[in-house]
Each structure stands twice: as C-alpha cells, then as structure tokens.
Chain A
Amino acid sequence: MVNSDLQVAPQVAVPIIEVSHVSTRFGEAVVHEDVSLTILRGEIFAIAGGNGCGKSTLMREIVGLQEPTSGSTRLFGVDSQLLRDGQPQENHRRFGVMFQQGALFSSLTLAENVAVPLKEHTQLSPEMIHDIVALKIALVGLPSESATKYPNELSGGMRRRAALARAIVMDPELLFLDEPTAGLDPIMAAGFDELVMQLKALLGLTVVMVTHDLDSLWRISDRVAVLGHGKVLGIGTMQELSRSNDPLIREYFHGPRGRAAESQHKEGTWNPESTTL
C-alpha cells in the first residue's frame, strides 16, 4: 500500500527484510553458510549468482515457504517461519510473489487468477473487483481479450505477466520476483524491467528479485547481492560490484555478456527518465 510518509522521504533506511546467519543444508549439500543481508524499504534489490547457488532457496526462506537449517529470516520485522497457513493475514497481504513458472491456477481463467486475492481478502463488490483486475491486466500489458483465457492457452511470456498482475493486485509494499526475465525475448525483458520501474515509482514498491539477467541488473537494481559458494560474495550497487576484486564476482560480471551489458548501460541506451506512462 502506498505509504505517504515514505513517499515524502524514500531515503529513510528502514529494513523490510532481515536475513541473519542463515545456513541451509539439503542432506550433505550445503546451500547457504552464514548468509546475512538486509533489504531496505523502497529499493530494488537483486539476488544474483550462478545456477544452483541457492538464490531461489533464499527467497523461499524469506517468504516462509522453506525453513533454513539454522539462522532466521525476518519479513516486516516478523520471523518468516511464523507465516504459516495464511497467518498473520495482514503480513500476507503486504507482499506479492511472482514464481518462476507463473504458478497460475490452471482451473481458473486469467482474470479469475488475478482476482483470487481480492475475492479472498476483501469484501469488494464484483464490479469493483472486475475493474481493479482489468486495470492490473492492462497495466502489465496484457490485452483484455486474454482475461477470459485459461493459463494453458497463454504463451510463456503472457503467463509471466499474468503472474505479475496477480502478485500486484493487492498493491503490496513488497514484491518478490523469481527470475522475472528468464526465457523472455529481449524486447519483452526490457519491457518487464520498465514495468517494474514504473510500479516502483507509482506504488512505492520494494522489489526483491532473483535474476541472472545482467541487463536487468544494470538497468533497474539499486543494490545487488551476489551469492556463491554458499556465501554472500558481495553486496552493493552494480558500479561497486563491477570494481570488486573477488574472482567469482569478476568472472560473473566481466564475462563477455557482462561486459556487453555494462557497456550498453554506460552508453546510456537505457534512460529511466524517458519512462512514460
């Protein structure tokens, strides 16, 4: 929800997520070892790192879907593990999650999928719900004809957008995106980045995204945490990280793709100011 105090002073560093000393093991395999980080209100925070370094696992732990082996994660100042069975409800309303495959309910149409949180958590009239849902569907750039389609009739990119619409339908303060641009074409991926920026500006969102997409990292992230070997290798802005001496971070950001994304960013082909509504 829009919080006017924060809009006046967005720079106030209020932690919204605190991850402290989290270790995760699956049997013998160590995923995280003593990971700590803090995510502040109003920032776009990216969690980056190679395949299988536990980015998504960390996100699942933050939203309480999975229990860390040791350590704790706090969301809005409350232990994430207490978020069970829809309780406490106020906290569940305050964040939205977009899963990698969309995770749309296959028995419901797109519009019904987006309407689920509104129907379950508010007593709005059907007309009002219809209007809000239609607005969100338009906002994520889906054509209105697609509203009555079922998820298996939608393309992958459309499903991703629909999932985003469902995640933001309650106007959450905090949005989790799991690999939002993976598998999208470059135009759509850029469009998605732009959409996230727009939503952040309009709704005062805090965004936590798990991503590999170097273009996205350069374009929209305020801060990035790079995970590797079960630890946080570095946290900072992309500029700071690109100057890092850590060999893994260097490899990650200064590979051929990383350099291309960086040079594109510096040439200024992306200009957030040009974002229009």
Chain B
Amino acid sequence: MAESAQGERASLTIGQDEALHCTGPWTLQHLPDLERAVAILSWPRSNELLCDAGRITAMDTGGAVMLYRTVMQLRRQGRHVSVEGLRAEFAELLRMVSANWDRIEVAPATKSGRMEQFHRMISGQAKQAVRALGFIGESTVGVWRLLKRPSLIRWRALLRSLELDGFNALPITGLLAFLIGVVISYQGAEQLRKFGTNIFVVDLVGISLLREISPLIVAILIAGRSGSAYAAQIGTMKVTEELDAVQTLGLSPMQLLVLPRVFALMLILPLLTVYADGLGVFGGMLIASNQLHVSFTEFVMRFEEAVALRHFLIGIGKAPFFAVIIALVGCYQGFQIRGGVDDVGRHTTTSVVQSIFLVIVFDALCSILLSWWNL
C-alpha cells in the first residue's frame, strides 16, 4: 500500500535488448492498467526471452498470477523465458501460484443448448407436477388418519392459526370489503341514475358482493397474508433443519404444520366472507342513501326480495375450497424450499401467485357450472 500511494505505476515494457522489464507495484490495484498494457504489447520475435523482474516493488497474488500467466503464454508459443532478479518473497509467491496452477480448472462451464434447456424445463415441470400430486395425496391420507383418530388434532396450532390468520385479519378485511362496497355502489349510481332505476343498486351491490366479490377479496387477501407466511415459515424451518428435527422426534410435519393450517383456514374463510358481506353491503348502503336517495329501510326491504338466499350460500360455499387451495399451496411451496435465503423469497412469491391463480380458476369453473344448472 505504501508504495502505491506514491503514484508509482506497474508496467511491463520491452527494452532495446528485447528483454522484458517489469517495474512498479504489481498489486491488484494496478493490475487493470497493467493488463490493458500487456494485451496490446507486441512480443519480440526471438525465442530466448529474458524477463527482468528486479524492479518490481510490491507484489500480491494477483500480480503473481499476472506474471505467471504472461510467462506461460509466451512459453506456450514455444519460447524460452527466464525470470530473473525477482525478490525472494515475490519468488515464493510465484512458486505458490505455479504449484497450484495445475489444479486450476481452465475450461469454463459448458453452455447448454436450446434443446437441452427445453428438455430441462419440461422435465422440471413434470417433476413438479408429480411432487404436487404427491403432496395432495399425502395431505388426503393425513386428513383420513385424523378422521379416524380425531384426538390427533393439534388444537393449539389450530387455535393459534385461527387467531393469527383469522382474528388478526379482521380490520384489514373489513376495511377492504367496506371500500369495495362503496366503489361498486358509486360506479353503479352513475349508470342507474340515468335510467331512474335507483333502487336496483341493491341488486347490484347485494348479488355481486355476496356471490362473487366478497369471497374473492377475502381469498386474495388471505393468500397474500397467510399463504405467503405459511410458505416462509415452513421454508425457514426446512433451511434451519427444524423440519428434520420434527421428523426425527417421531412427529409428522403433516399433522403438526399442514393440517392445522388447512382446517383453520377452512373455518376462517367462510366466517371472514360473512363479515366482508356485511361490511361491503353496509358500504353500498351508505352510498345508496347518499347518492341515490335510497334510504336504509328501502334498501333493506329491497334486499330481502332481490337477493335470493342462494347467492349468499354460493359465496359462503366457495370459501372453504378457496381455503384448501391457499393453505395447501402455501405449505407445499414451503416444503419445496431447498437452498438458502433467496429460495425462501422465491417460493413465497410463487405461493401467493399460484394460490390466487388457482382460486380464480376455481371461481371461474364454479360460475360456469352454476350457470349450467341455472343457479
């Protein structure tokens, strides 16, 4: 360091005598310049080269690698190069480099072709599908065992999950449902006023919220809030070998971690949906009385005749299925985590995206089926 502070520069020049002259500090700091200089150097033609290294003032392993590389490059061209005048401690470094050099793998990693990439992608997807199927099977077996011996249910884990994923989600779910009710009512108000059919705001808000929007909003919220947490929790347990500890202690990760969460969400989602229905409709009601002069009493009376019970039941009925999707996807992604920190992040994201995707696909299927049956 001391030398470099004086503004000295490392250099490799070819003298009049066709000898190579190495000068200055051959340290990492000065290597980039040196490397550029050497790259454009035109070597003398003679087969016997003398490398005078006596004026190298400092050297680290980087510098030694540089010198060694240069000498080896010249030797590969069939020339004889002798290095002279190198200080003892630098010579030691150079010896260390040459001693380790043959253990260095020179060939860089082979690039895989397009077909190989395609093959890897397909086989990876196939493997994942098989694993996912296996996980569904495993959890079904787990549920079956629980049904045969209900005493195996982990009440503590279940109750804790109810609190964390259900009770603690009440404020945010309520607020969102309320706002969605307000938005739908507002947007409807514009159109309905044009036709003077103000009272139909009840149908609009009631049916859309109860049947579709509340369950979906709750499912999406819980997927983001709890599904991701499941993946991260289980994944971190895997990384820290806690899952292995669970297994060696003779406990089943399925019974301990997955099923309580599945059951908890199956209870939570319908309840949250009812709660979201209430607050959403309330939001719609406020806007209806404010913008469309539909009073609360009128609203409620119209609600009774316009919104059939089946809309409510269909909405509630979908919620447990959404719950199963969210909990299983979250836990499954957690178990898929193999490596370290960024694997946790990736699988957590995947769990949210996949569960929301599957929830919406399932919802669309329900809509199609129910319209076939004229419900």
Q: Which of B35, B58, B90, B101 contacts A124 (CB 8 A)?
A: B35
Say yes or no: A135-B61 contact (C-beta < 8 A), given A1-B28, A150-B339. Answer: yes
Give every chain B residue within 8 A of A152 (Cβ-Cβ).
Answer: 338-340
Hey, which chain A residues are within 8 Å of B222, CB to CB? none
Query: B136 an interface residue at 8 Å Cβ cutoff?
Result: no
User: Which one, A2, A4, A131, A148, contacts B109 given CB within 8 A?
Assistant: A148
B27 near A139 with CB under 8 A, answer no
Interface size on A, residues (CB 8 A): 39
Chain B 49-87: CB-based contact to A (< 8 A → 1; otherwise 0): 000000001111110011001000000000000000001
Closest residue to B69 on the A side, CB-wise? A131
User: When chains A and B are docked, how far (Å) is the Cα of A7 from the Cα of B1?
Assistant: 13
Q: Which residues of A are found within 8 Å of B60, using beta-carbon distances?
A: 1-2, 171, 203
Contacts A7-B89, A128-B35; is A107 near B1 (CB within 8 Å)? no
Does B41 have its Cβ within 8 Å of any Cβ on chain A?
Answer: no
**B104 contacts A by Cβ under 8 Å:** yes
CB-contacts of A166-200 with B (<8 A): 170-171, 173
Q: How far is the CB of B8 from chain A (nearest CB, A)?
A: 12
The A-B contact count (CB < 8 A) is 109
When the two chains form their complex, are residues A135 and B104 in contact, meaning their CB atoms are under 8 A apart?
yes
Does B105 contact A171, Cβ atoms closer than 8 Å?
no
Contact A202 B109 (CB under 8 A): no
Is B342 a contact of A138 with CB atoms below 8 Å? no
Interface residues of A in 97-144 (CB under 8 A from B): 106-107, 118, 122-125, 128, 130-132, 134-136, 138-139, 143-144
Q: Which A residues touch B58, using CB under 8 A?
A: 1-4
Tell me whether B105 and A134 are in contact (CB under 8 A): yes
**A267 beta carbon closer than 8 Å to chain B:** no
The smallest C-beta distance from B256 to any residue of chain A, in angstroms, reads 24
Complex partner residue of B65 from A4, A135, A144, A145, CB under 8 angstroms: A135
How does the 8 Å CB contact mask read for A203-235 relative to B, with 1 for contact and 0 for none?
A: 110000000000000000000000000000000
- Residue on A with the closest CB to B32? A123
| Number of B residues, CB within 8 Å of A | 41
Residue of B nearest to A134 (CB): B104
Contacting pair A202 B92 (CB below 8 A): yes
Flag whether B97 is at the interface (Cβ < 8 A): yes
B187 on the A face (CB < 8 A): no
A173 touches B1 (CB 8 A): yes
Which chain A residues (5-54) contact chain B, with CB distance < 8 Å? 5, 7
- CB of B354, distance to nearest CB on chain A (Å): 22
Q: Does B93 contact A (CB under 8 A)?
A: yes
Main secondary structure of the interface of A (DSSP, over half): helix
Q: Identify the closest chain B residue to A143 (Cβ).
A: B103
The CA-CA distance from A135 to B341 in the complex, in Å, is 28
B28, B57, B101, B339: the one within 8 Å of A135 (CB) = B101
The CA of A136 and the CA of B64, in the complex, are separated in Å by 12
Shortest distance in angstroms between B335's beta carbon and chain A's nearest beta carbon? Answer: 16
A128 touching B100 by the CB < 8 A rule? no
Would you call B99 an interface residue if the criterion is a C-beta within 8 Å of the partner chain's C-beta atoms? yes
Residues of A within 8 A of B69 (CB): 128, 131
From B57, B89, B95, give the contact of A277 (CB < 8 A): B95
Across the interface, do A144 and B341 meet the contact criterion of CB distance under 8 Å?
no
Would A130 and B96 count as touching, CB distance under 8 A?
A: no
Binary interface profile of B, 16-37, with partner A (CB < 8 Å = 1, else 0)? 0000000000011101100100
Q: Is A68 at the interface (CB under 8 A from chain B)?
A: no
Q: Is the CB of A131 within 8 A of B104?
A: yes
Q: How far is the CB of B240 from chain A (nearest CB, A)?
A: 11
| Residues of B close to A1: CB separation below 8 A | 1, 4, 27-29, 58, 60
Q: Is B3 an interface residue (CB 8 A)?
A: yes
Q: A3-B2, A152-B340, A202-B92 are in contact. Are A171 and B28 (CB under 8 A)?
A: yes
A132→B100 CA distance, assembly (Å): 11
Residues of B contacting A202 with CB < 8 Å? 61, 92-93, 96
Cα distance A5–B35 when bound, in Å? Answer: 26
The verdict on B7 contacting chain A, using a C-beta distance below 8 Å, is no
Query: CB distance B100 to A106 under 8 Å?
Result: no
Identify the closest chain B residue to A151 (Cβ). B340
Q: Does any Cβ of A come within 8 Å of B113's Cβ?
A: no
Contact partners of B340 in chain A: CB under 8 A: 106-107, 151-152
**Provided the pairs A106-B343, A171-B28, A173-B1 are in contact, do residues A203 and B61 lie with their beta carbons within 8 angstroms?**
yes
B1, B2, B57, B100: the one within 8 Å of A138 (CB): B100
Knowing that A2-B58, A277-B92 touch, tell me 19 more A-B residue pairs with CB under 8 angstroms.
A1-B58, A1-B60, A2-B89, A2-B93, A7-B89, A106-B341, A123-B32, A128-B35, A132-B62, A135-B100, A136-B61, A144-B103, A144-B105, A147-B105, A150-B339, A152-B338, A173-B1, A202-B96, A203-B93
Residue ranges of B at the interface with A (Cβ–Cβ < 8 Å): 1-4, 27-29, 31-32, 35, 57-62, 65-66, 69, 87, 89-90, 92-93, 95-97, 99-101, 103-105, 108-109, 338-343
| Interface residues in chain A, defined as those with a beta carbon under 8 Å from any beta carbon in chain B | 1-5, 7, 94, 106-107, 118, 122-125, 128, 130-132, 134-136, 138-139, 143-145, 147-148, 150-152, 170-171, 173, 201-204, 277
Closest 6 A/B residue pairs (Cβ): A106-B340, A144-B105, A171-B60, A134-B104, A138-B100, A123-B32
14 residue pairs A–B, Cβ–Cβ below 8 Å:
A1-B29, A2-B58, A3-B1, A122-B32, A130-B108, A132-B62, A132-B65, A138-B101, A139-B96, A139-B100, A144-B104, A152-B338, A171-B61, A202-B61
